[in-house]
């Protein structure tokens, strides 16, 4: 885990004159799991989408394995994106397509043969604990199942980096814990690099090695999960306190 796979350098992005990202710099090592923690609306998803060029930064640089993707032409950028998997907040499944068709879509776009696609779809569904649901439609799935299918689709292309946007959003606490456990297990089994955007510090600590805090456009905390109790930044402390309060409430139920 010594090689830096993704590096952000002085990344900035504004919308209508409001600076959302302000000279963000971050290094993520190969095989590492990093959480981007922050309050709702702070720009976490903007940062995540900027990492793969889905949003174009106003200034700064993004390096994937030493290649500055902010300087690439569209065709070359698409080639780099093949190394990334993206788990969207709402799972982003196509309602009119079966589970199989949703997961197979990125493989079909890459021109893989049907036999290979069948093998990969079956493998990732088993990986996320949902074997045999290929023919179901999204409306037949629970929220937790949809999230697992979204994760399966991200893994089916065998990416080097998985980007998770609020992976437990909209889930009940029990299902959220199961999704956190699944993500952590998959990261270890597949040895992928993971970047997780979340406002839930419990999710961050259960999945990730490091937590960075995004506040007012800047990364103001960068800490290993073993050392989170030592952080004195008031906003980070607020996140810790809220998690402990929630734990107490859950214990009383």
Looking at every residue in the chain, the average pLDDT score rounds to 91
pLDDT at 155 over 90: yes
pLDDT at 251 over 80: no
Q: What is the pLDDT of residues 72-122, one digit of tens each?
A: 998 999 899 999 999 988 778 999 999 999 999 999 999 999 999 999 999
Residues 37 and 19: their CA atoms lie apart, in Å, by 18
Q: Is the pLDDT of residue 1 over 60?
A: no
Q: Residue 248: which pLDDT band, with cuts at 50, 70 and 90?
A: very low
168-181 average pLDDT score:
89
What are the φ and ψ backbone dihedral angles of 134, each rounded to 5 degrees?
-50, -35
* Threshold 0.85, pTM exceeds: yes
pLDDT for 247: 53
CB of 239 within 8 A of CB of 253?
no
pLDDT of residue 14: 95
Listing DSSP states for 13-74 in one string gives EEETTEEEEEEEEEEEETT-EEEEE--TTSSHHHHHHHHTTSS--SEEEEEETTEEGGG--H
- What is the dihedral sign for C-alpha 200, 157, 52, 188? positive
pLDDT in tens, 202-235: 889 999 999 999 999 999 999 999 999 999 999 9
Write the CA distances from 226 to 87, 94, 229, integer angstroms.
26, 39, 8
CA distance 159 to 7: 17
Per-residue pLDDT of 8-40, as tens digits, reads 999 999 998 899 999 999 999 999 999 999 998
Give the confidence band of 170 by pLDDT, cuts at 50, 70, 90: confident
Nearest to 123 by CA among 47, 189, 202: 189
Please report the pLDDT score of residue 244 as a whole number.
Answer: 67
On the question of pLDDT at 169 being above 90, the answer is no
Q: What is the pLDDT of residue 249?
A: 40
Q: At what angle do helices 143-155 and 173-190 cross, to 10 degrees?
A: 10
Report the percent of the chain where pLDDT is more than 70.
Answer: 96
Kindly tell me if the per-residue pLDDT of 253 is higher than 80: no
The CA distance from 207 to 183, in Å, is: 7
CATH topology of domain 4-83+159-252: Rossmann fold (3.40.50)
> Residue ranges per domain, the chain?
4-83+159-252
Compute the CA torsion angle 30, 32, 38, 42 (nearest 10 deg): 10
């Amino acid at each position: 885990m010594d090689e830096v796979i993704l590096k952000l350098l002085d990344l900035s992005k504004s919308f209508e004159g409001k600076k959302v990202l302000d000279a963000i710099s971050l290094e993520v090592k190969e095989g590492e799991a990093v959480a981007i923690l922050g309050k709702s609306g702070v720009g976490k998803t903007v940062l995540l989408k900027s990492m793969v060029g889905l949003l174009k930064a106003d200034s700064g640089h993004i390096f994937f394995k030493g290649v500055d993707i902010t300087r690439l032409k569209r065709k070359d950028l698409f080639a780099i994106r093949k190394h990334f998997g993206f788990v969207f907040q709402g799972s982003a499944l196509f309602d009119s397509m079966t589970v199989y068709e949703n997961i197979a879509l990125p493989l079909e776009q890459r021109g893989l043969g049907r036999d290979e696609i069948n093998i990969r779809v079956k493998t990732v569904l088993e990986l996320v604990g949902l074997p045999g649901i290929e023919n179901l439609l999204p409306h037949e799935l629970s929220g937790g199942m949809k999230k697992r299918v979204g994760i399966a689709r991200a893994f089916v292309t065998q990416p080097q980096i998985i980007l998770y946007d609020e992976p437990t959003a909209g889930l009940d606490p029990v299902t959220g814990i199961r999704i956190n456990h699944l993500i952590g297990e998959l990261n270890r089994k597949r040895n992928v690099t993971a970047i997780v955007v979340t406002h839930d510090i419990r999710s961050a600590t259960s999945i990730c090695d490091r937590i960075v805090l995004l506040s007012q456009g800047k990364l103001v905390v960068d800490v290993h999960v073993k050392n989170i109790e030592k952080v004195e930044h008031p906003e980070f402390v607020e996140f810790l306190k809220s998690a402990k309060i929630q734990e107490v409430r859950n214990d009383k139920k």
